[in-house]
Amino acid sequence: MALVSLAELEKTYNKGTSAAVHALQGVSLSIESGEMTAVVGTSGSGKSTLLHILSCLDQNFEGQYTFDGTDIKKLSAKQLSALRNEKIGIVLQNFGLIYDMTVFDNVVLPIYLSGKHYSKRELHQRVIQLLQELGLEEKINTKASQLSGGQKQRIAIARALINNPSLILADEPTGALDKSTSNDIMDIFCSLNSAGRTIIIVTHDLSIAARCSRTITISDGKII
Amino acid sequence: MITLIFTHLKRRAINYIAVCVELIVVVLVCNILLSHLVPFIQGQQLYKSLKLSSILCCTTSAESDALDIIAREVDAKILWRNYRGQYALSDESLFIQPVEKSYLHRFDLVPDEQISAGPIAVVASSLTSRYKSGNTYTVALQYPIGEITFSVALSTDNDLLFIPPSGDAALSVIGRHPNTVLLALDDDDLAKFDASDVYTLEAKDNDAQRVTEILSWNEKIIAAMSCEDAQSYSNSLDMSQMGMPIVISLTAVALCLAGMLSNTLLSIIANERNNAIYYICGYTWKKCALVQFISDLLIVFFSVVMAYAVMQILSKTSGNITFQQTSFLLSVAIVAVIFTLAEILGVIQIAKKNVAEIAERMK
């Protein structure tokens, strides 16, 4: 069974008005576990809208979206937030870190939000393990504001991984980084994929897409 | 959630200080406003109780002969006024103004040899028939002070200026306010009094009210006028006196309120981004709003506690500052209104969420 399955997905902004915009039209796709997929398209093509739906931030669409066998439209707000927390890790172009928090607090944020109780030692071990994989263990007590762009993005990846999600969604993860740092970040995504993680990267950079095993091109809200 | 709230509070420590400072300023301003408004309102109440058809007789005289003439010839009520604008309807009422004994010495108000141990009093010469210089008297003051014994150090017809320990800007002119007794106390006795207040003898406490400004300038007597005219005249005097302090006070309050509002709005904007991050990481909007509400409530609570503590310390360490409980409560009420408005705004912001806005907030 596919991890992500979209069938005839439609999304219209300002529906029913003269300013209606059809952001997605009849999008159907299926992504298996362990795939590393790039969604490419020009600005305004609908790729961000697709990402918002895939990441369960937007439930207001037509068609069907099944995640790991669950029909997303049937979930309540609480169930949807639990799904985002446990099964989806989101990495954003602008990192989405809370800058006056330490690296440790940023990484464990999804655990804080889940309400699950772990001992301090357990949490610390988990964060250290992730930061070691990303080469940032010495920054554990540093404030997020004091990190470089590449380091911030690696912390954002660590946060996305903390709950061991089934899917990692990255929205232009290298958009705010230089070429060399972008390559480092893509190396991390590739090694995560090699370890069996499912990754979807939304990008307009074809060199980034080239490093993914599959590329989906979207134009005017349609997959081409 | 507790961890999040705690983290939130740590981040916003500066907000405590800002709200605390603004609160103290508002309390001080309310103090000034109340000191003008309360006597004014009391005056209005007194006019109402006297009825507009009454004839009032206003005088600066304290001589019993002159007062007898007034009472007999004019058939009017005689009102006694102290320096704070409070009035009594009977010449048996006394306004007792407590003051730190050291002030008498510091400002050479009373000769050193007259400053004895224990409470001492300075009285207007008009009171010498009741309180003779060098004698000791025991009087019952209004609740909660009880009885107090003092010896009369000096009687005076001259203007006797002093600065009350409260730092009140008003200067007492005992000579012109014959029913006011300046009671100089040691620190221990002074602690029993609220230094900013004026006390009256227990039996006559109900009569202490404000009515009008002194109407005759150099003459001892006399102006008899209708209550309606007196009210109108008094109001015009009050307005001319109150105008500037009220404008300044309202400006200060407006600036503080603007500070509080902008502070709160900035915090709402900061919260928007955090809430968007919490939402993306798996929180519901309801929980985001709850974290924000509890954190803001705690910030306001801690700020009020801090402000209260700072005011208590200032009152204790500096004799020149006195905070009225009413002013504090009024200020807390203002803060509570702003807090409520801010929370409503915050909830509206959260409720308006959509995906595009979430993405926008992340930038």
- The C-alpha atoms of residue B295 and residue B348 are separated, in whole angstroms, by 17
Give the domain extent around B249.
2-34+243-361
Same structural domain for residues B168 and B259? no
Query: Containing H/E element for B263?
Result: helix B227-280
CB-CB: which of A49, A96, A110 is closest to B362? Answer: A96
Q: Is residue B223 part of a domain?
A: no
pLDDT tens-digit series, residues A11-24: 888 887 888 888 88
Q: Is residue B39 part of a domain?
A: no
Same structural domain for residues B95 and B198? yes
- Give the model's confidence band at A200: pLDDT under 50 very low, under 70 low, under 90 confident, else very high: very high
Q: What does the pLDDT read at residue B230?
A: 66
Q: How far is CA A210 from the centre of its chain?
A: 18
Give the domain extent around A137.
4-223
Residue B4: closest CA among chain A residues belongs to which residue? A112
Q: What does the pLDDT read at residue B164?
A: 42
Identify the sign of the CA torsion B183, B188, B189, B194.
Answer: positive
Interface of B with A (CB under 8 A): 1, 3-4, 7, 11, 274, 276-287, 355, 358-359, 362-363
> Could you tell me the two tokens for B280?
């993306």
Same structural domain for residues B30 and B104? no
Q: Which residue has the higher pLDDT, B300 or A128?
A: A128
Total number of domains in chain B = 2
The enclosing domain of A70 has a CATH number of 3.40.50.300
Query: Please, which residues 89-108 of chain A have a Cβ atom closer than 8 Å to chain B?
Result: 90, 92, 94, 96-98, 100-101, 105
Q: Is residue B236 part of a domain?
A: no
The enclosing domain of B199 has a CATH number of 2.40.40
Which residues in B lie closer than 8 A to residue A86 (C-beta atoms)?
282
Same structural domain for residues B104 and B180? yes
Same structural domain for residues B203 and B248? no
Q: What does the pLDDT read at residue B352?
A: 66
Same structural domain for residues B262 and B351? yes
Q: What does the pLDDT read at residue B155?
A: 82
Q: Is residue B110 part of a domain?
A: yes
Share of chain B above pLDDT 70, in %: 59
Total number of domains in chain A = 1
Q: Is residue B57 part of a domain?
A: no
pLDDT tens-digit series, residues A18-64: 888 888 888 899 999 889 999 998 888 888 888 888 888 888 889 99
Identify the sign of the CA torsion B272, B274, B279, B280.
Answer: positive
Identify the sign of the CA torsion B111, B113, B118, B120.
Answer: negative
Taking each helix axis as running N to C, give the angle between helix A77-87 and helix A103-114, from 0 to 180 degrees, rounded to the nearest 10: 140
Task: Give the domain-ending residue among B162, B188, B207.
Answer: B207
In this prediction, the residues of chain B whose per-residue pLDDT falls under 50 are: 59-61, 162-173, 195-223
ipTM: 0.90
- Say if the Cβ atoms of B284 and A105 lie within 8 Å: no
